[in-house]
Amino acid sequence: MPLVALFTAAIMWILLLFLFNKETAHAPVAVDPAVAASIAKDYPTIGDQIYHQGNPATGAIACAGCHGANGEGGAGPKLAGNTKLTQDGGLYTHNIVLKGKGGMPAFEGKLDDTQLYAVANYVLHSWGNTIEEPLTPAKVAEGQTKVDPAVLKNRSRFVPEDLKLPEIWLTTFIIVLLTYGLIGLYSVWAEGQELHPGIHKVRSTPVATLGIVASAAMTVLFSVLFVRQMNVDYQGWAANEPVMPNVTGEGFYAAMIVLSLAATLALYKKFFMDGEALVEDATGEFPW
């Protein structure tokens, strides 16, 4: 039964990955000739207007409120002379304006294509920033596989912004089946399939001793790394230009602490702690 539970969880995991990948796959960029033709002449005026005034009718706030009237920065990062914005021809800038990042809201749906490209090009051609040619939909479509690694990481994130009911259902059952299966495997490994009355003496082996020492050392190591990562993230968050915390790193170290501690306790139960079974009663056993 534990293996059946784990096998079923694996199938559900594959289905879950399919759903998540479908959610996080970015739609192809539509190359509108009208937008492309107007970009070069419109961005100095429309881009300037959107940057400093926003679009109140759709709820698009002005960029200058966070990044400064001259891109000097403030609540948001400095834009003036920021080479990260121009190093890939402006693809990174377009994606941030479209999808948002950290405390910056997404402007997708709040600005039309003309306004999006206008404000992106305004930033890419102001305050010392420059690119060879204006950013166009054709360039964005061509460079979708060449964008900044941070953008690719955001696009391929495991958990989409909105969890839907099928995904929640699958995730819940995967957790239940994994828990059931792992507890079952551990029970068979630690105590066997049948419990016989009496005191069961156990004797540790050199390999078991090495294993418990190694797992305990890993618990300490990952605890130190977790605390260090939390400290780095806290300092980055409190900096003048806030840096988003590395939630993935924090979660990985926390998970490894739990797993290594569980391995330590399991080895202790199996090889270092005597067990006692008073009676052999099938009704008291787990259903595996």
For the chain, domain boundaries: 27-143, 203-272
Per-residue confidence (pLDDT) for residue 163, from 0 to 100: 61
CA proximity to 269, closest of 179, 183, 187, 178: 187
pTM over 0.75: no
Residues 89-106 have a mean pLDDT of 82
3-state secondary structure of 276: strand
State pLDDT tens for residues 195-225. Answer: 666 666 767 788 889 999 999 999 999 999 9
Do 151 and 127 touch, CB atoms closer than 8 A? Answer: no
State pLDDT tens for residues 150-209. Answer: 545 544 454 555 566 777 777 788 888 888 888 777 777 776 666 666 666 767 788 889
Q: Which CATH class is domain 27-143?
A: mainly alpha
Burial bucket for residue 265 (CB in 10 Å: 0-12, 13-18, 19+):
middle
Tokens 């977790």 sit on residue: 226
Per-residue confidence (pLDDT) for residue 146, from 0 to 100: 53
103-112, 124-133, 237-246: least confident range: 237-246
State pLDDT tens for residues 56-65. Answer: 888 888 888 8
Do 180 and 4 touch, CB atoms closer than 8 A? Answer: no
CA proximity to 26, closest of 164, 165, 116, 143: 143
Distance CA(124)–CA(130), nearest Å, equals 6
For residue 112, pLDDT beyond 80: yes
Residues 124-140 have a mean pLDDT of 83
